[in-house]
Structure 1
């Protein structure tokens, strides 16, 4: 019931903002008045159940301070910024109050009858209030028949002489005297509590018995005829002698859990002047039925022989955070009932066969965070009831000592190989080791009854082609994250590693540098429900690669470009955040699915964004419109018209094609002559603008003679008055002596267009490729196409794609080829001149973002 009330209070306090209660207000059930500068109790509704008044300036509480609040169960009046005076029957108008919190106040005046009338009070908090011994001797708690918890920690109490009214507190189960200045407790002081049962008696951090000499024969047993579930005497600086005297003094008192943490017992590392506990230290507890003993956070260096011999009923022993380096023979003899042993965070370097003898009932041993490097083979083999062995974060290099267990923790060690696997286990934790070969994974998958296997943060990267999978019908969860499976799989082997795992439900493959998934790698995982491919380098998911019953998929932080929604038909949860989506029309199907699917998409919409093209970087996919990509809808309205025109157009087209194909050179000459005659009075030059040249012709110096005859003589005005263009090229217009890069930059930026004549010599010329890159940079800067690429000769698409800067251009833009037929040269040069003179307009940003289609023409 007490735990339930604590939980309820926590829910109330945390959930208050969720109910929409603003500060310094109330809603009928909860009144929230923290930090409101109040100097007196506010008037609230009589239906109020929780009244929170901490962090104010209330200085006086009297019988008339509160209205009659019959429903009130929680009153929080702690941490007032002014000294507090509490008068007689100050809370009598709160008859059903269950929790009263007065903690962290400076209580100057507290009337002995201040709490009268609170017959239903369950918990009273008076911690850190500056209270003295008078609070115990003055009868302040009389008539509190329902009081179960009393917190008097962090006060100025020096003595525990109790008023006789404590005998009447039959409901009292928990009393907290921690962080006071109680140097001694003797039998006479706690007489009013004799015959009672306590769930907690807290005497932590009082310097109890450590600052004064004690005549134990006169002091006797302070807990005589008392039954304690938990007695906390930690942090009192007890030595072996004090512990031994105290154990003898409380002989026969029933204490289920004894907490002696933060003690000073033990010689520590490198010292011998302070004793380690011996077989007499805890002998006095042999009639106390101690079930749990906490000796953590001390300086015990050696566990001496039969040190716990008298603790026949002990089930849980905590020795963590000591300096234990040696376990003597028969150290645990007598602990026939011990089930849990915690020796973590110590200085053990090796374990011997005899270390754990005398533990017939042990089920859990925690040895993590030691320095264990050597373990004899039979150390654990005789512990027949051992279920869990935790050896994480040690220096273990072999596993030949492992018996058959339910749970094995071996993470954070120095395992390079796994030999002699002759045990069974349900759960194996092997993360943060140094395993490289997938052969160890194949071996581990053969362990009978294995349900969970964790191999995260190893170095799995090597595959032996001779490995063959074996069937494992018990494995349910497999963790292989943060390895290097890509290196193993790219060899073409070990693609069948999951073949026999037909009952596997959870699989983690995150952070494995994967840029592909082997075909059929998940084919046999018919029971797989959850798959993590997070933080890899996947660009696509092949159709049918995912298991048919998969429900949860994490493929975030990859490089997905255009996922196919058909791959996600079985999912209920999907995480595709922080990928590198290309927002072109190819992605429109996925975007439409994303806005309509019933699958739960994990993460914020802002975490699913475009990475290309540049104008869409960072834009959420949920903000993208796909209307212009619906080609079927656009074409539907044109189909009828196209059908009518098709017959006529086809006939004319065939005739025209035949004529133009056969006599295209003559046709173009006639067309050109007619054009000049009709428009002979019109100026043929280009419009004046800010550019010095119409075009910068970039070509290899080895092609100069051919370029001059084929291009310059027909286009450049300095070669002929009939030509239309003012051209720039290196042999004539570059400034001698000037830095070559500077000449290239000047030519690119002072010309309307840049024409790159890509030949075999061009591809071998570093300066030409550098100029090509500068022209591309200007394209990105001006947001228009100022680069014209002309391919000369029999260069194939493959030869062009070998060059990174050219590859990126030809994938996204049109380029020209020098005609092979001589009759096409005139037409080609005319079109090239028109393209050079064509003015490009910068793209404007639309308020409504739409996908832009980039056409790839080779």
Structure 2
């Protein structure tokens, strides 16, 4: 029956929360209070708290919850709730109540919860007695903490339905629950904690709880207990949750007595947080203090804030296989041989976060009756025989084989993460956030079951391309926010950092000062659903995301993006087509709305991509005015008109400037065409080392005395007369293209090389010469050689073998004829002799 009542109360409370109308309105039957109607039960929850009410007003019988907390009520008169049979919960806490009448609670036969905490109920006046509480025959929960009971315990004999009791526990010596509690067979939860009330007990013995053997949940936290004797909890065979936290005089030594009594009980959760003082010496947990837990089915152990530094070797091996969760937060752990014992325990979640946290002394520290003695403990040498498999030279790191969650956050760890190989494990969640792990080198092996990894807030500025080994293949959530990865990630051009994270679904890289990511950074994350790049310094989306078909959320909030490029827009639209749930947050970016970014503005108007917070976006116009883009349609129309009027002018201006530049460039190229061609062939010749000097002559060496440039129609003059007179009779070595050009080389290269390696260039001028392309090429190359290689030295020597009128000569040849010497071939015998003597003299001078 008692179980059924509790179920009904809990189910009705849950249903009330789920179905209640959330609107709080003034009660029509009591204007100063607010009401909330339950749409299912049609009953009200009435709040009359903090209104300085001094008397209980008359209320109708349509209320299921009623609160008069924090008022100034002093007396609860007879029949105050006589007609309120629907009331389930009554809160009279934090008043000044000091008088109850015998009929104060008459009519509350269905009341389930009564809160009388923080009043002035004086036991000497017997205000709270068996007769006052008699009408509460179905009461399940009662809170009478923070009243003036002293060490008095009220007679609750008639409270046969009570399952949960919160009361003060005060004793100048040994604390004991009174015999009157023996009749309360349904009582399961007893909260004596000083955290929410008054609790001060010097010691506990085997007499303390013998009258409540049925208790399942017992809280003795912050009760200033100095000692717990063996046998204190031996009667509590049904105990499931025991909390002795915040009793700083107990120390770990008390655990031996506590765990001894808990053997073969139903204990599931044991809490002994902070049973050492803030500035005690660092501690060691010993085998004798926890060995009896092997005879339990305990599931959770909480030992936070105990200055715990070491655990005795093999002590943890006494932990039962049922142990799933261990919390050892805010301790002082150092590395030791006990780490290898972790391989043998079945813990699934180990929380050792907030190590080395700074503390101040407690405001009212307990006075303990002993002195702290420092003694040196004997060192036990244990030979480890645990087998390990590790790769290469990675450091082995022991892990409990059943551990699933590890919390090492806020522990002031200041290391670089080098190569580690974890022992066999089924680790799923790891939190290493808020430390100083500044460099992630790795690789990390044997994390094949890992799903969740948090490395945020570590001031990390370096992560290697192989830190995430192939064993990270199961990782789904990765949190790297609030680091300095902007110094290294932009240089990962091939996406090597995340290449092994094929099953990643969520990644957070916010607050990393990242300016850009390479095109292929996310190439391997085909299953990614959420990417957070907010609060960085991105100016554009240059990385590929178009292939991320499962992407649902992209956060680029608070960056420096002024507009999106055409390729970025195309990628976002392609994702939206594949995934209609896709959302992107571009808020708090400095958008530009100008003619240059009008395509981006148009996209904002037409896109079906979900833009988070779009109504709050702002845009800067060309006149530097900042406007909201809530009415983006009108803004686009205005911008389109402004830009259209400028387009013809811009097009004409661009065309004109382009035409002028083309004309100037063309003119320069034409003017210096021979210089450019000469430079090209000279570079080509030199790169192939075609210029080989053969003889010394003055301060320069030349392969030939003269290069002869002639038309093919004049070859008879060149090969018979010129070659005989100059080379055979006078020893001047000539270069003729039919005889001396190197086969296999192109003509232009041969010409340029021959001119450069000859002291002079002889031009056999004729009308055929003027008509020949290659002859004119040879002439111009010789002229360039004269200007740019010989410092304007006259290397050209013109021989006219026929009469040519001045008007037939090109201007640049006529200028040369007028400024430099030339010779005409004579027709008489005397002139012939003078002709060859002159040529020989010029070529040998």
Q: If the TM-score is normalised by the length of the shorter chain, which range does it land in?
A: 0.5 to 0.7
Unaligned runs of 5+ in 1: 270-298, 461-481, 637-858
Corresponding residue number in structure 2 for 1:447: 471
Aligned with residue 330 of structure 2, among 334, 341, 345 = 345
Post-superposition Cα deviations, 1:616-646, rounded to whole Å, max 9, x if no partner, equal 336454488337437589999xxxxxxxxxx
Corresponding residue number in structure 1 for 2:39: none
Alignment map for 1:312-331 (pairs within 5 Å): 312=294, 313=296, 314-331=298-315
Corresponding residue number in structure 2 for 1:182: 201
Matched, 1:359 2:344: yes
Q: Tell me: CA distance 1:536–1:248, structure 2 relative to 1, closer, same or farther (3 Å).
A: closer
**Does the CA-based 8 Å contact 1:425-1:449 persist in structure 2?**
yes
Corresponding residue number in structure 2 for 1:532: 532
Aligned with residue 108 of structure 2, among 91, 94, 97 = 94
Corresponding residue number in structure 1 for 2:218: 201
Larger radius of gyration: 2
Q: Distance in 2 between matches of 1:48 and 1:32?
A: 11
Post-superposition Cα deviations, 1:463-522, rounded to whole Å, max 9, x if no partner, equal xxxxxxxxxxxxxxxxxxx54356415xxx335665676544333343444444544554
| DSSP-derived class of the 1:31 partner | strand
Post-superposition Cα deviations, 1:753-803, rounded to whole Å, max 9, x if no partner, equal xxxxxxxxxxxxxxxxxxxxxxxxxxxxxxxxxxxxxxxxxxxxxxxxxxx
Q: Tell me: CA distance 1:175–1:335, structure 2 relative to 1, closer, same or farther (3 Å).
A: closer
Tell which deviates more after alignment, 31-40 or 242-251: 242-251
- The offset of 1:444, in angstroms, is 1.4
Corresponding residue number in structure 2 for 1:127: 145
Alignment map for 1:813-852 (pairs within 5 Å): none
Matched, 1:235 2:234: no
Corresponding residue number in structure 2 for 1:617: 626
Q: Distance in 1 between matches of 2:339 and 2:290?
A: 16
Q: Tell me: CA distance 1:361–1:617, structure 2 relative to 1, closer, same or farther (3 Å).
A: same
Q: Tell me: CA distance 1:599–1:145, structure 2 relative to 1, closer, same or farther (3 Å).
A: farther
Aligned with residue 578 of structure 1, among 574, 588, 591 = 588
**Does the CA-based 8 Å contact 2:139-2:161 persist in structure 1?**
yes
**Does the CA-based 8 Å contact 1:30-1:50 persist in structure 2?**
yes
- The offset of 1:51, in angstroms, is 1.1
Corresponding residue number in structure 2 for 1:35: 50
Alignment map for 1:761-776 (pairs within 5 Å): none
| DSSP-derived class of the 1:124 partner | strand
- The offset of 1:551, in angstroms, is 2.0
Aligned-residue CA RMSD (Å): 4.6
| DSSP-derived class of the 2:99 partner | strand
| DSSP-derived class of the 2:341 partner | coil
Matched, 1:21 2:32: no
| DSSP-derived class of the 2:130 partner | coil
Corresponding residue number in structure 2 for 1:810: none
Corresponding residue number in structure 1 for 2:635: 626
**Does the CA-based 8 Å contact 1:562-1:586 persist in structure 2?**
no
Question: How many residues are aligned here?
Answer: 567
Q: Tell me: CA distance 1:18–1:624, structure 2 relative to 1, closer, same or farther (3 Å).
A: farther
- The offset of 1:94, in angstroms, is 2.1
Corresponding residue number in structure 2 for 1:426: 449
Alignment map for 1:644-723 (pairs within 5 Å): none
Q: Tell me: CA distance 1:604–1:99, structure 2 relative to 1, closer, same or farther (3 Å).
A: farther
Corresponding residue number in structure 2 for 1:287: none
- The offset of 1:554, in angstroms, is 0.9
- The offset of 1:380, in angstroms, is 4.9
Aligned with residue 70 of structure 1, among 85, 88, 101 = 85
Alignment map for 1:236-275 (pairs within 5 Å): 236=247, 237-239=249-251, 244=256, 255-264=267-276, 268-269=280-281
- The offset of 1:3, in angstroms, is 10
Q: Tell me: CA distance 1:618–1:131, structure 2 relative to 1, closer, same or farther (3 Å).
A: farther
**Does the CA-based 8 Å contact 2:490-2:518 persist in structure 1?**
no
Q: Tell me: CA distance 1:24–1:556, structure 2 relative to 1, closer, same or farther (3 Å).
A: same
| DSSP-derived class of the 2:182 partner | helix
User: If the length of structure 1 is used for normalisation, what is the TM-score?
Assistant: 0.56
Corresponding residue number in structure 2 for 1:488: 491
- The offset of 1:173, in angstroms, is 0.8
**Does the CA-based 8 Å contact 2:351-2:407 persist in structure 1?**
yes
Matched, 1:59 2:74: yes
Q: Tell me: CA distance 1:335–1:358, structure 2 relative to 1, closer, same or farther (3 Å).
A: farther
- The offset of 1:578, in angstroms, is 0.6
Q: Distance in 2 between matches of 1:590 and 1:103?
A: 63
Q: Distance in 2 between matches of 1:306 and 1:526?
A: 53
Q: Distance in 2 between matches of 1:558 and 1:340?
A: 41
Q: Tell me: CA distance 1:263–1:10, structure 2 relative to 1, closer, same or farther (3 Å).
A: farther
| DSSP-derived class of the 2:344 partner | coil
| DSSP-derived class of the 2:72 partner | coil
Post-superposition Cα deviations, 1:204-239, rounded to whole Å, max 9, x if no partner, equal 2333354xxx9x69xx64652642112223333214
Corresponding residue number in structure 2 for 1:652: none
Q: Distance in 2 between matches of 1:443 and 1:78?
A: 57
**Does the CA-based 8 Å contact 2:505-2:529 persist in structure 1?**
yes
Q: Tell me: CA distance 1:613–1:106, structure 2 relative to 1, closer, same or farther (3 Å).
A: farther
- The offset of 1:62, in angstroms, is 2.6
| DSSP-derived class of the 1:578 partner | coil
Q: Distance in 2 between matches of 1:55 and 1:547?
A: 60
Q: Distance in 2 between matches of 1:119 and 1:187?
A: 31
Post-superposition Cα deviations, 1:544-588, rounded to whole Å, max 9, x if no partner, equal 754453321211112232347665441533212111022346667
Corresponding residue number in structure 2 for 1:400: 420
**Does the CA-based 8 Å contact 1:227-1:255 persist in structure 2?**
yes
- The offset of 1:29, in angstroms, is 1.0
Q: Tell me: CA distance 1:238–1:402, structure 2 relative to 1, closer, same or farther (3 Å).
A: same
**Does the CA-based 8 Å contact 2:480-2:509 persist in structure 1?**
no
Q: Tell me: CA distance 1:38–1:155, structure 2 relative to 1, closer, same or farther (3 Å).
A: farther
| DSSP-derived class of the 2:181 partner | helix
- The offset of 1:91, in angstroms, is 1.7
Corresponding residue number in structure 2 for 1:104: 118
**Does the CA-based 8 Å contact 1:51-1:76 persist in structure 2?**
yes
User: If the length of structure 2 is used for normalisation, what is the TM-score?
Assistant: 0.57
- The offset of 1:259, in angstroms, is 2.9
**Does the CA-based 8 Å contact 1:364-1:388 persist in structure 2?**
yes
**Does the CA-based 8 Å contact 2:116-2:144 persist in structure 1?**
yes
| DSSP-derived class of the 1:113 partner | helix
**Does the CA-based 8 Å contact 2:76-2:101 persist in structure 1?**
yes
Tell which deviates more after alignment, 44-53 or 610-619: 610-619
Q: Distance in 2 between matches of 1:333 and 1:430?
A: 30
